């Protein structure tokens, strides 16, 4: 299975962001979205990766971009993890049916039963403009995301979609 | 280190805090966070590597505070930058890592204790913090790091390429480059 590539429409989804609230990708039409699939709450590399993005929210918002992080962990687990790490962005729960959204994006690891470490930058029209699959144990950093967002901003200024 | 390693986006310049000569065959650059325990653990290793390679190595430190997980990292970085303006950067940097277990418990009071230990005039630091935008300096280090592919701390670059690996592999990579020089 390979991840959806640039040019594809991002499949819509609705997932729990807290035990009693849900978020749909389509709600963010008109804004750019960064989707960060990751294997698991509490694991060392994921924590570092999300800690880095947590520092960059202001930078992302300069590009009118909303960060959504997704793993197969449950909403209560996400709530505890987000509180412990002071995350200021939603952690979405791809819990039931397990990994269904990760599968739609080609980012599910059947063997380990977790989402892969995959990044997608989606534009205001819901089109994937950049995607990247990082090796499971490697924190991909944020330079690729920022370059993709700058690409969207500059093509919008040039008047092309 | 190989062809696919991320490359340092902001070259080392006179603006950087550096120990050793610009002409040294190897420059080791660290993006670090003063409250990060892993950076604290790397500190004695870097000292040992600096001692082992002497004049063949230049060491550069840049700020990469992850403030949400380490709320004291940015205040510490700003005090170190203010100390730098007063020509006390390295003593402050070293003190922060050597005493990380203690000052991080006491918060900003712990940082003030560092200034007293080093005999740095606290009033001068306060004035420097007011007159200079050290926050912008720290932020600019941080964003330069993000653009270079820094993905956590400590993050090392050897002659401009990110080094992924433990301390032993870092020493080995530096030794190889010195041999080739």
Show Cβ contacts of residue B1 under 8 Å, excluding neighbours closer than 6 positions.
B158, B161, B162, B163, B173
- Does residue A80 sit at the B interface (CB-CB below 8 Å)? no
DSSP B158: E
Q: Which residue of A has its CA nearest to B154?
A: A48
Question: Strand A117-122 to strand A128-134: parallel, antiparallel, or no bridges (unpaired)?
Answer: antiparallel
Q: Which fold has domain A30-157?
A: Glutaredoxin (3.40.30)
- Count of CB atoms within 10 A of residue B15's CB? 11
Residue B162: pLDDT above 70? Answer: yes
Indicate whether B3 pLDDT > 60.
no
How do strand A65-71 and strand A91-93 relate by DSSP bridges? Answer: parallel
Q: Closest approach of chain A CAs to the CA of B168, in angstroms?
A: 19
Distance from chain centroid for Cα A93: 12
Q: Which two tokens stand for residue A43?
A: 């694991």
Sort out which chain A residues have CB atoms less than 8 A from B68's CB and list them.
51, 54-55, 85-88
| A106 touches B: beta carbon within 8 Å | no
* Between residues B165 and B103, the one the model is more confident about: B103
Q: Given CB atoms, is A86 within the 8 Å cutoff of chain B? A: yes
**Structure confidence at residue B97 (pLDDT):** 98
Extract the tokens encoding B94.
């070293």
> What pLDDT does residue B139 have?
97
Are the C-beta atoms of residues B119 and B66 closer than 8 Å to each other?
Answer: no
Mean of the pLDDT values across residues B118-131? 96
pLDDT for the residue A138? 87
Whether A88 and B68 lie within 8 Å, measured CB to CB: yes
**Are residues B112 and B126 in contact, defined by beta-carbon separation less than 8 angstroms?**
no
Q: Which residues of A are known to be catalytic?
A: 46
Assess: ipTM above 0.90.
Answer: no
Q: CB atoms < 10 A from the CB of B181, how many?
A: 10
Q: Where are the domains of chain A?
A: 30-157
pLDDT tens by residue, B11-68: 999 999 999 999 999 999 999 999 999 999 999 999 999 999 999 999 999 999 999 9
Mean pLDDT of all residues belonging to chain A: 94
Q: What pLDDT does residue B181 have?
A: 84
**pLDDT band with cut points at 50, 70 and 90 for residue A161:** low
Do B146 and A56 lie within an 8 Å CB cutoff? yes
φ/ψ of B94, rounded to 5, equals: -65, -40
8 Å CB contact of B143 and A59? yes
Residue with tokens 């040294």: B24
CATH code for the domain defined by B17-180: 3.40.30.10
Higher-pLDDT residue of B164, B118: B118
Tens of pLDDT, residue by residue over A17-47, are 999 999 999 999 999 999 999 999 998 776 6
Backbone φ, ψ for residue A70 (5° rounding): -135, 130
- Number of alpha helices (DSSP H) and beta strands (DSSP E) in chain A: 5, 9
Q: What is the CA radius of gyration of chain B?
A: 16
Query: Which tokens sit at B140?
Result: 């600019």
Would you state the pLDDT for residue B1? 42
DSSP 3-state of A133: strand
pLDDT of A97 strictly over 50: yes
Based on the number of CB atoms within 10 Å of its own CB, is A156 exposed (0-12), middle (13-18) or buried (19 or more)? Answer: middle
Give B-chain residues touching A139 at CB under 8 angstroms. Answer: 151-152
Interface of A with B in 30-59 (CB under 8 A): 48-49, 51-52, 54-56, 59
Residue A101, min C-alpha distance to chain B (Å): 26
Q: What is the mean pLDDT of chain B?
A: 95
pLDDT the model gives residue A44: 79
pLDDT at A160 over 60: no
């Amino acid at each position: 299975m390979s991840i959806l590539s640039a040019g594809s429409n991002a499949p819509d989804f609705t997932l729990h962001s807290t035990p009693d609230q849900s978020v749909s990708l389509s709600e963010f039409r008109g804004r750019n979205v960064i989707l960060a699939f990751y294997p698991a709450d509490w694991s060392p590399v994921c924590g570092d990766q999300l800690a880095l993005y947590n520092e960059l929210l202001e930078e992302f918002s300069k590009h009118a971009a909303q960060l959504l992080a997704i793993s197969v962990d449950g909403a209560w687990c996400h709530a505890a993890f987000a509180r412990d790490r002071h995350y200021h962005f939603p952690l979405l729960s791809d819990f039931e049916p397990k990994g269904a959204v990760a599968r739609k994006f080609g980012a599910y690891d059947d063997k380990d039963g977790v989402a892969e470490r995959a990044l997608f930058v989606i534009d205001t029209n819901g089109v994937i403009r950049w995607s990247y699959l990082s090796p499971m144990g490697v924190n991909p950093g944020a330079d690729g995301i920022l370059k993709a967002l700058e690409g969207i901003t500059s093509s919008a200024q040039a008047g092309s979609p | 280190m190989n062809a696919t390693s991320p490359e340092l986006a902001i070259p080392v310049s006179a603006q950087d805090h550096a120990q050793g000569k610009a002409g040294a065959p190897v420059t080791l650059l660290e993006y670090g966070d003063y409250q990060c325990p892993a950076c604290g653990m790397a500190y004695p290793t870097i000292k040992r590597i600096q001692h082992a390679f002497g004049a063949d190595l230049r060491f550069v430190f840049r700020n990469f505070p992850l403030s949400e997980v380490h709320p004291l990292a940015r205040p510490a970085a700003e005090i170190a930058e203010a100390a730098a303006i007063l020509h006390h950067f390295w003593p402050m940097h070293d003190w922060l890592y050597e005493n990380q277990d203690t000052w991080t418990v006491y918060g900003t009071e712990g940082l003030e204790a560092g200034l007293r230990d080093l005999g740095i005039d606290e009033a001068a630091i306060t004035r420097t913090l007011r007159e200079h935008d050290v926050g912008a300096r720290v932020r600019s280090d941080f964003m330069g790091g993000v653009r270079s592919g820094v993905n956590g701390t400590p993050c090392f670059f050897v002659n401009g390429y990110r080094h992924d690996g433990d301390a032993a592999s870092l020493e080995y990579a530096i030794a190889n480059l010195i041999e080739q020089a």
